[in-house]
Structure 1
Amino acid sequence: MQTVIPIGKSEHVPTALRPLIVALAEVGAELARTIQRGPLGGALGQEVGTNLGGDGQKALDIMADAAFAARLKLASVRWYASEEQDEVIELDPAGRYALAIDPLDGSSNIDVNVSIGTIFSVFEAKDGADESVLRPATEQIAGGYIIYGPQTMLVVTFGDGTQEYLLDPDSREWLLINPAVRVPDTSREFAINASNYRHWPQPIRAYIDDCIAGEEGPRAQNFNMRWVASLVAETHRILTRGGVFLYPGDAREGYAMGRLRMVYECAPIAFVMEQAGGGATDGHDRIMGKTAETLHARTPFVFGSPEKVARVAAYFDLPEQEVSALFGARGLFRV
C-alpha cells in the first residue's frame, strides 16, 4: 500500500478546498454505511418520484441529496446544483464555491448490490446561480466521484493529477492510496449498451462492429464488452485497467444527445479522466471544451484510454460509405 495520509491532512488537497472535500467525504462515509446495511436500512431502492430529467427517483437518491445539501451548507458552498433539484439552490449566501452533484449515480442498481456512486464538480461561485455552474468545463477547480462498492473510494482531481483515497472500514478514515492515478494505455475492453445498436449513428456501429469482429476483423484482436449501467463503476474500471466507455446519442425520441448530463456527470468525469492521462469527448469534440446551456443538459459521452477515444473520433471523420461498409473495407483501422 502507498503512504496512508488522511484526506483532511493531505498536502495534495488545496488548503482552501479541504473543508469542502472533507464534507463530501464525511457524507460519503455515512452513505456507504447506509448502503452496506441494504434492506436493514429501509427500502432504499423504492421509487418515490421523477426528477426534471424524467428519471425515476429512488428513496436513496432523495436521502443522498438531502444529506449532501445539509453538510455542504457548512463548507462554504453558496450554490448547489443537483440532479435531484429542478434548479440551482442557494445554501450559504457567503459561500465561496458552487458545487454540481449527482448525489447517487446508478441508483437502478441499488437493490442488486452493484457498485453505485456520487459524482461532483466544483467551481468558484459567481453572484448568479446559473452563471456559477453553466460555464466552460475547463473552469472546474475540482471534480471527482465516490464509489460505493466492495471498497468505498474517493477519486478526485484539482487540476494537477488524479488522486485516490480509500475509506478504511476499521478507522473510518479516508486514506490516500494513490496520489497520481494513470489510465492504462492498453486494454481490450469496451463498455456500451449493445441493446441499442439499431439506434446508434453509423460511426458508433462501425467502431463496435470492428471490435466484435475480433482477430478476423480490421482490429486483428479480440475484445471484451462490459456494461454496468453505473457511470461511476464504468469510470473506476477504466481508470484501473483501461478501455473505453461509449454512451452516444441515438435515434430514439429523447436520446439525440444521449442520457448523461454535462454539468454534474460528464464534465467532472472528463476532468478526472484527462488529469489521469485519458481522454473524454462527445464522440468527436473534447468534453472539457464544452459549456452546458441548461443545468440538466445532456451530451453524448466517450471516455477512456486516449488512443481508443481518438479512434472513436476518427470514425466520425470517415466518409459515409466507409462507416456503412462491411468491416473488412476499413483498412485504415487495422491493428
Structure 2
Amino acid sequence: MQSTAISPFHQLVVVNPKLQTSISKPQLCLARAPFCRPRNGLDSGFGMRPLRVLGGSSSSATSDDGFVTLIEYVGKEGINVKDDLVVLLDHVQYACKRIAALVASPFNYSIGKQTGLASVHASGSDRDAPKPLDIVSNEIILSSLQKSGKVAVMASEENDAPTWISDDGPYVVVTDPLDGSRNIDASIPTGTIFGIYKRLEELDDLPIEEKAMLNSLQSGSRLIAAAYVLYSSATILCITFGSGTQAFTLDHSTGDFILTNPNIEIPPRGQIYSVNDARYFDWPEGLRKYIDTVRQGKGKYPKKYSARYICSLVADLHRTLLYGGVAMNPRDHLRLVYEANPLSFIVEQAGGRGSDGKNRILSLQPVKLHQRLPLFMGSLKDMEELESYGDIQQKVNPGYEV
C-alpha cells in the first residue's frame, strides 16, 4: 500500500489556505500552525516589547490584548490606506510568513537537492543565477498576489520579464523575493523587498507585454508603499506608505505582525559604515579618502567610525536605519527597480537619503527591468559628507564575475 505520509519538503511549501477574518484568534493560531505556537508565560516575542496603545488612541484600532497589528494599523489608524491596499498587504504579509517558516526550517538545505533547481539560469541574463529558495519564495509571493485580486502585474528579480496577473488589478508590485539567499546555509539574515505602485490606467490599451513592462519601470517617486522583511532572530516587517516608516515584529504565538517601532527616525549621523572594504584597492579615490577620513575620526563628525558588514542588504540597512551611518555597495551591482527604489523610499521616509553616489535614487527613471547601479543609503549628514567627496562610484570591477 502506498504511504500517505507527507515529505518534509511538502510540509514546508504547502500550508493552509487563508482563513476568514471572522475566525477567532485562538482558532487562527491553530489553523496557521507553521507560524504559531501555543502562548505561554515564557514566550517573550523575541524579547521585543510590542507597542501597547497609549492614552488617547482608539481602542477599536487594537487587538484584544492592546497591541497594534499591521492590518489593524493600516485599516484603522487613519493613514489613508485604501481598502484594496489593505487586502493586498494582508496577502503580502501572509506570503512573508510562509517564507520566514521556509528560511527557518531545518529542511531548507535539502530543498535544492530534492528539486534540482540550482542549475537553472538564463544565459546572458542580467540576473544572478537563481537558487532553489529564491524560486520557491518567488512562487509563494506570486501565488499570494494572484489570490489577492488586487495586482495587475508583478515584476520580480527572479523573472526575466514581468508577469501580468489581472486586467483590473489596481496595483503593480515589484519584488526581490529572497535577498541574501546565498547566506542561508550559514544562518546569516536574509530578507524580502517589495514596492507597490498604482497601475497606469492610461496604458490599458497596449499589448500585455508592453504595458506590463512600462508599469514595472515606474520611477521610485511614484511608489505608494514599500517594505522589507528581515528574517533573523526576529522576523521584522518595515514599511512606509509615504508618511513615515514603521516596523512590525512577527509574534509567533499569534501569527500577527505587531507594531514595535513606530515612526522610525534614522539618526542624522551615525558612527558606522557598512561596505565590503576587502575591495578597498578597487575603489575610486574619493571613496577611499572618505573611508580613511571617517575611520580616523577626522571627518565632520569627530569620532572614529566602525565597520559593520553582514553582506545581506536588508540586514545591513535595518541596522543603519536604527543606529545611523551609511550602508553602501559602490559598484554597479544592486537593482534599481527591486532594491534601490523601495529601500530608498523607506530610508527617505525615516529622514535619510538614498543615492547612486551622484543622484537621488527616487529621481532616476529605470530604463530596463534588471538595471544595476551603485547604492548608498543612510543618515542625511553622513550621506551629504560622503557625496561631497565626488568620486565614489566604483566603475571598474576587477575580480568580479560579469
Q: State the alpha-carbon separation in 2 of the partners of residues 297 and 152 from structure 1.
A: 29
Q: 1:227 aligns with which of 309, 312, 326?
A: 309
* Structure 1 residue identity aligned to 2:72: K
- Partners of 2:197 and 2:269 in 1: how far apart? 33
1:42 partner amino acid: S
> What residue ranges of structure 1 are gaps of 5+ in the alignment?
250-257, 319-335
Identical aligned residues as a percent:
31
2:72 alignment counterpart: 9
Distance 1:317 1:63, change over 3 A: closer
Deviations 1:209-240 (A, max 9, x none): 2123x146786432111111111001110111
Distance 1:132 1:22 in 2: 22
Q: CA deviation at 1:88?
A: 0.8
* Shift in alpha-carbon separation, 1:137–1:54, aligned structure 2, 3 A: closer
Q: Match for 2:361 among 248, 267, 287?
A: 287
Q: What is the CA–CA distance in structure 1 between the aligned matches of 2:163 and 2:267, rounded to whole Å? A: 39
Aligned residue number for residue 37 of structure 1: 105
Q: Distance in 1 between matches of 2:328 and 2:304?
A: 18
Q: For residue 175 of structure 1, what is the aligned residue in structure 2?
A: 258
Matches within 5 A, 1:291-330: 291-316=365-390
Residue pair 2:269, 2:380 contacting (<8 A) in 1 also: no
Q: Note the residue ranges of structure 2 that are not aligned, 5 or more in a row.
A: 1-48, 53-66, 205-210, 393-402
Task: Quote the Cα distance in structure 1 between the aligned partners of 2:300 and 2:193.
Answer: 36
Checking the alignment, whether the CA contact within 8 Å between 2:270 and 2:382 is kept in structure 1 is no
The one-character-per-residue Cα deviations of 1:11-55 (angstroms, maximum 9, x if unpaired) are 247133111111111011111111111336733697342353241
Which residues of 2 match residues 122-201 of structure 1 at below 5 A? 122-126=196-200, 127=204, 128-201=211-284
CA contact (8 A) 2:353 2:378 kept: yes
Residues 1:248 and 2:323 aligned together: no
Structure 1's 216 and 266: CA in aligned 2 closer, same or farther, altered over 3 A?
Answer: closer
Deviates more, 1:161-170 or 1:6-15: 6-15
Matches within 5 A, 1:48-63: 48-50=119-121, 52-63=125-136
Distance 1:93 1:56 in 2: 31
1:202 and 2:281 aligned: no
Equivalent pair of 1:136/1:288 in contact (CA under 8 Å): yes
Q: Distance in 2 between matches of 1:69 and 1:220?
A: 48
User: What SS class does the counterpart of residue 91 from structure 2 fall into?
Assistant: helix
- Report the number of matched residues: 309
Name the CA distance, whole Å, in 1 between partners of 2:299 and 2:213.
48
User: How many angstroms does 1:112 deviate by?
Assistant: 0.6
Secondary structure in 2 matching 1:284: coil
Q: Summarize deviations over 1:181-230 as a string: whole Å, max 9, x none.
A: 11122321000111222222221111112123x14678643211111111
Aligned-partner Cα distance in 1 for 2:279–2:180? 18
Whether the 8 Å CA contact 1:38–1:44 is kept in 2: the answer is: no
Decide whether the 8 Å contact of 1:145 with 1:232 is kept in 2.
yes
CA contact (8 A) 2:300 2:385 kept: no
Distance 2:126 2:80 in 1: 33
- 1:217–1:148 Cα change, 3 Å: closer
Q: 1:143 to 1:54 in 2, by over 3 A?
A: closer
SS at match of 2:333: coil
The change in CA–CA distance for 1:78 and 1:215 in structure 2 (over 3 A counts) is: closer
What amino acid is aligned across from residue 283 of structure 2 in structure 1?
A: W
Query: C-alpha distance in 2, partners of 1:143/1:216?
Result: 36
